[in-house]
């Protein structure tokens, strides 16, 4: 009794991996771009919310 | 613009704050009590509710859900109002939440001590309480989102994101892991069996650490640290990356609790990979916290609040570095099932959660009573007691874990196991004693804090409704250009859905394949459902919390196979609702216990473990010898199992008790041959039946194969 290869038995299993990888990469690149490009003043304003 | 005047609700914060202090002491006392039982088994008082197996779940549940839970709610109810510039959405919901949660804690304490448990770690509470938790959690959610929606502050500060992610993920984890089929009012069986149950449980267990003990506390850190240091967080950009990376990656890491078990290999590797990746966001968060204090370290010397926070954040960093290391298979082979894990979680529990809670209380109480802390000196003493307590707690256990593991794996030159299991236990007793000294110091610190806070409260005047002013949000306001993320962080509902998708992906990828395992496992023909008596015995095994000290999972290592027998196979557990693999070996593994000793050995051993194994630290289970076995539940249990797919013949529920009594009589007869007179219908007989069954299906298969050859 070997406990391998059963993930292959799900029909269309490749889509699972691809979709999640895609979501992962897209989400992170968009977030990173935003974080890097974000307006300094806005960021400062948001970071100071707890203080006032 | 018209400025509005409104009032923050401090009463609810005060209520949760009091509950935090009370349950801190209760939870720690329970912890100390179980710690003492390691070297003084008589401390179990030979009384069922105070044995380790029942008290330990009480300790873990009290600390996680009562102490840290109330701490989270204290912090959320305080900071959310201020970050949203709005009073809580509904005072009524706040109070339903508060009393509902305390009622759940009370119900949990009573049922756990009485032995009502699902047998799944940190999810031990039975189904009616599970439903109550769901209801109260939804009430909290409505209150949380209601407040966010009526806020007067445009942006959602990062702390609120952590609160949202916490709410949605805990809801998901709790519901998925709590699928169970009720047998009676306080008894149920897990919907899942064996490998699947283990995977769901540790997907839950790991993420309970992530989303109950980590993300909400990080939210508190992002609010209270800037407050206490009076400066914004080091990098707000980093906090955004920290948030998304953390919730995205954490959800995948659960299987690292099951390395080298019968869990499929791909799932184990998945757990390891994501655990390693977790270092990045965790340390991002830690550095963000510590760097916030750059140039302000002189304040740390003065201010007890900051002192506690610095150690808390450092412990967070240590625990989140150690976690990934422990997920490496080679390290896990040594650490798993030993006290190393216990040391690791207490760095997190005592250091990160405890110290953050203390810091928050020391900050909040003077603020809400508009006074100064009664004594900084006492607080500093608390700080040192706590810090030394953590060290005295953790270091001996690291030592104990490593030593014991090495002893387990030692062979003589002739190829025999060098140490009996019991020798490896008695060898580390001094470490257990030192650990409880550390715990005592830590508890003493908490008592000191209670006194200090009490005196502070006495000298101040409580502000039940704190006045504040802010302009309302204008609906019409539309900036020319908006980045998507900024749009997003103004929309809490979108945020909620996105967080759910992010954590959902990991969950689905991890769980779906294993749900299909059932149809794909080549089942082992010789593995048969439990007999009615064994099933009853198994429920006693679960009730007494045997899984808190005994594993049922032999890993494929030379020493484990030599000590316990053939390593465990996934197909052996298909009828185990719930699985009982365990996570700690204070006693030896029981996966191949069946047939190892005669029935009379088990009988005597349960009556007094030290009569059979001198030096054993196992509690006595004297009541099992007298308690009548409740056979009225047999039919319902068989029916429930049948619903879950266990192949009992149709109508078996009606005749099951006949088989049960037959087997019980034969065990009583066996015992009589060894000069033990006992009625057949007592609990010990059922437990012996179960113990003699564990792991035998495969043994018989091998014997048959041998004879065939």
Record: contact B512-A16, CB cut-off 8 A: yes
Cα–Cα distance for residue pair B173/B204, rounded to 1 Å: 6
| Each residue's pLDDT tens digit, B94-120 | 999 999 999 999 999 999 999 999 999
Instruction: Over range B609-617, report the average pLDDT.
Output: 95
Please report whether residue A26 resides in a domain: yes
CB contact under 8 A, A34 and B483: yes
- Which residues in A lie closer than 8 A to residue B517 (C-beta atoms)? 6
The pLDDT tens digits of the residues spanning B448-464 come to: 999 999 999 999 999 99
Residues 22-51 of A with CB under 8 A from B: 23-24, 27-28, 30-32, 34-38, 42-51
Q: How many separate domains does chain A show?
A: 1
Considering only CB atoms, B157 lies closest to which of A9, A10, A49, namely A49
What is the per-residue pLDDT across B331-389, written as a single tens digit (0 to 9) for each?
Answer: 999 999 999 999 999 999 999 999 999 999 999 999 999 999 999 999 999 999 999 99
Rg (CA), chain A: 21
pLDDT at B505 over 80: no
Q: Kindly state whether residue A24 falls inside one of the protein's structural domains.
A: yes
Residue B178 pLDDT > 80: yes
pLDDT tens-digit readout, B237-291: 999 999 999 988 888 888 888 888 877 777 788 889 889 999 999 999 999 999 9
pLDDT for residue B518 is more than 80: no
Confidence of residue B496 (pLDDT cuts 50, 70, 90): confident
For chains A and B, CB pairs below 8 A equal: 99
Give the 3-state secondary structure of B464-519.
CEEEEEECCCCCCCCCCCCCHHHHHCCCHHHHHHHHHHHHHHHHHHHHHHHHCHHH
- Contacts of residue A18 in chain B, CB cutoff 8 Å? none
pLDDT tens for each residue of B136-155: 999 999 999 999 998 999 88
Residue A27 contacts residue B213 (beta carbons within 8 Å): no
Question: Which band of pLDDT confidence, cut at 50, 70 and 90, is reported for residue A2?
Answer: very low
In-domain check, residue B606: yes
Q: Is B527 helix (H, G, I), strand (E, B) or coil?
A: coil
Give the percent of chain B with pLDDT over 90: 80
Could you read off the pLDDT of B9-23 as tens digits, one per residue?
999 999 999 999 999
Q: Are β-strands B465-470 and B4-9 bridged in parallel, bridged antiparallel, or unpaired?
A: antiparallel
What integer pLDDT is reported at residue B623 of this predicted model? 96
Residues B224 and B367: beta-carbon distance below 8 Å: no
The verdict on residue B175 lying in a domain is no
Lowest-confidence segment of B133-137, B459-463, B518-522 by average pLDDT: B518-522
pLDDT band, very low/low/confident/very high, at B618 (cuts 50, 70, 90): very high
Residue B563 in domain: yes
Tokens of B136: 């109260």
Task: Choose among B60, B5, B3: nearest CA to B31.
Answer: B60
Q: Is B682 part of a structural domain of the chain?
A: yes
Q: Is A15 on the interface with B (CB under 8 A)?
A: no
Establish if B211 belongs to a structural domain: no
ipTM metric: 0.79
pLDDT score for B161? 92
Q: How confident is the model at residue A1 (pLDDT cuts 50, 70, 90)?
A: very low
Does residue A34 sit within a domain?
yes
Q: Which residues does B42 contact at the CB level (< 8 Å), separation at least 6?
A: none
How far is A26 from chain B, CA to nearest CA, in Å? 12
Beta bridge partners of B5: B469
Q: How far apart are CA B271 and CA B511, in angstroms?
A: 12
A10 touches chain B (CB under 8 A): yes
B82 occurs within a structural domain:
no
How far is residue B56's CA from residue B577's CA, in Å, rounded to a whole number? 21
With CB atoms and an 8 Å threshold, state whether B485 touches A38: yes
Is residue B376 situated within a structural domain?
Answer: no
Distance from CA of B447 to the nearest CA of A (A): 30
Residues 512 to 531 of B: which have CB under 8 A from any A CB?
Answer: 512-513, 516-517, 520-522, 524
Query: Is A11 within the bounds of a domain?
Result: yes
Kindly tell me if the per-residue pLDDT of B622 is higher than 90: yes
A4 contacts in chain B (CB < 8 Å):
264-265
Q: In chain A, what residues touch B522 (CB-CB under 8 Å)?
A: 1-2
Residue span of the structural domain in which B692 resides: 532-708
Domain with residue B681: its CATH number is: 1.10.760.10
Tally of structural domains, chain B = 1
């Amino acid at each position: 009794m070997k406990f391998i290869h059963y993930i292959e038995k799900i029909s269309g299993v490749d889509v699972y991996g691809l979709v999640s990888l895609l979501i992962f990469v897209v989400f992170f690149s968009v977030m990173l771009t935003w974080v890097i490009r974000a307006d300094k003043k806005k960021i400062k304003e948001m970071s100071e919310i707890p203080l006032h | 613009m018209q400025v509005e005047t409104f009032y923050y609700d401090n009463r609810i914060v005060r209520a949760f704050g009091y509950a935090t202090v009370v349950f801190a002491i209760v939870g720690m006392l329970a912890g100390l009590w179980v710690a003492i039982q390691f070297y003084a088994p008589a401390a179990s008082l030979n009384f069922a509710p105070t044995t380790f197996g029942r008290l330990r779940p009480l300790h873990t549940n009290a600390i996680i859900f009562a102490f840290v839970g109330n701490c989270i709610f204290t912090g959320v109810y305080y900071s959310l109002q201020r970050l949203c510039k709005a009073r809580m959405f509904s005072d009524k919901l706040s109070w339903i939440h508060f009393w509902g949660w305390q009622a759940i804690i009370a119900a949990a304490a009573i049922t756990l001590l009485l032995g009502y448990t699902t047998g799944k770690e940190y999810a031990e509470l039975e189904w009616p309480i599970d439903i109550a938790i769901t209801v109260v959690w939804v009430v909290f959610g409505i209150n949380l989102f209601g407040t966010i929606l009526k806020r007067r502050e445009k942006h959602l500060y990062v702390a609120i994101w952590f609160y949202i992610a916490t709410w949605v993920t805990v809801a998901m984890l709790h519901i998925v892991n709590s699928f169970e089929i009720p047998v009676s009012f306080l008894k149920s069986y897990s919907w899942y069996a064996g490998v699947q149950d283990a995977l769901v449980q540790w997907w839950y267990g790991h993420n309970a650490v992530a989303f109950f003990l980590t993300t909400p506390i990080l939210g508190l850190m992002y609010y209270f640290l800037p407050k206490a240091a009076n400066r914004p967080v080091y990098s707000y950009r980093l906090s955004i990356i920290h948030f998304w990376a953390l919730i995205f990656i954490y959800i995948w890491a659960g299987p690292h609790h099951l390395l080298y078990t019968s869990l499929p290999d791909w799932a184990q590797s998945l757990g390891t990979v994501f655990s390693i990746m977790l270092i990045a966001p965790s340390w991002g968060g830690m550095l963000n916290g510590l760097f916030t204090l750059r140039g302000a370290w002189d304040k740390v010397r003065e201010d007890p609040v900051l002192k506690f926070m610095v150690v808390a954040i450092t412990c967070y960093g240590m625990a989140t570095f150690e976690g990934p290391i422990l997920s490496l298979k080679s390290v896990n082979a040594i650490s798993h099932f030993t006290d190393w894990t216990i040391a690791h979680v207490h760095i997190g529990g005592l250091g990160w959660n405890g110290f953050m809670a203390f810091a928050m209380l020391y900050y909040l109480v003077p603020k809400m009573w508009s006074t100064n802390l009664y004594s900084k000196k006492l607080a500093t003493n608390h700080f040192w007691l706590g810090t030394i307590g953590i060290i005295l707690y953790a270091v001996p256990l690291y030592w104990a874990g490593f030593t014991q593991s090495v002893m387990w794996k030692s062979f003589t030159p002739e190829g025999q196991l060098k140490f009996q299991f019991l020798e490896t236990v008695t060898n580390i007793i001094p470490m257990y004693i030192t650990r409880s000294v550390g715990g005592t110091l830590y508890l003493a610190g908490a008592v000191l804090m209670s006194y200090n806070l009490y005196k502070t409260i006495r000298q101040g005047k409580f502000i039940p409704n704190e006045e504040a002013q802010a302009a309302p949000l204008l609906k019409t306001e539309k900036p020319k250009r908006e980045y998507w993320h900024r749009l997003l962080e103004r929309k809490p509902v979108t945020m909620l859905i996105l967080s759910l998708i992010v954590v959902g992906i990991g969950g689905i990828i991890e769980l779906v394949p294993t749900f299909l395992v059932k149809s794909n496992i080549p089942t082992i023909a010789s593995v048969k459902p439990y007999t009615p008596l064994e099933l009853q015995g198994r429920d006693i095994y679960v009730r007494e919390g045997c899984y808190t000290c005994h594993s049922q999972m032999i890993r494929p290592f030379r020493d484990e196979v030599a000590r316990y027998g053939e390593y465990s196979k996934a197909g052996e557990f298909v009828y185990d609702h719930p699985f009982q693999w365990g996570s700690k070996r204070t006693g030896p593994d029981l996966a191949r216990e069946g047939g190892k000793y005669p029935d009379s050995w088990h009988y005597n051993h349960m009556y007094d473990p030290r009569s059979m194994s001198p030096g054993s630290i196992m509690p006595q289970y004297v009541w099992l010898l007298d308690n009548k076995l409740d056979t009225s539940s047999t039919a319902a249990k068989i029916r429930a199992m049948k619903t879950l797919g266990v192949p009992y013949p149709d109508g078996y529920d009606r005749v099951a008790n006949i088989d049960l009594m037959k087997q019980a009589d034969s065990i009583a007869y066996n015992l009589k041959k060894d000069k033990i007179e006992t009625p057949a219908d007592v609990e010990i007989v059922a437990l012996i039946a179960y113990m003699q069954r564990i792991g035998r299906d495969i043994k018989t298969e091998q014997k048959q194969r041998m004879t065939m050859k």
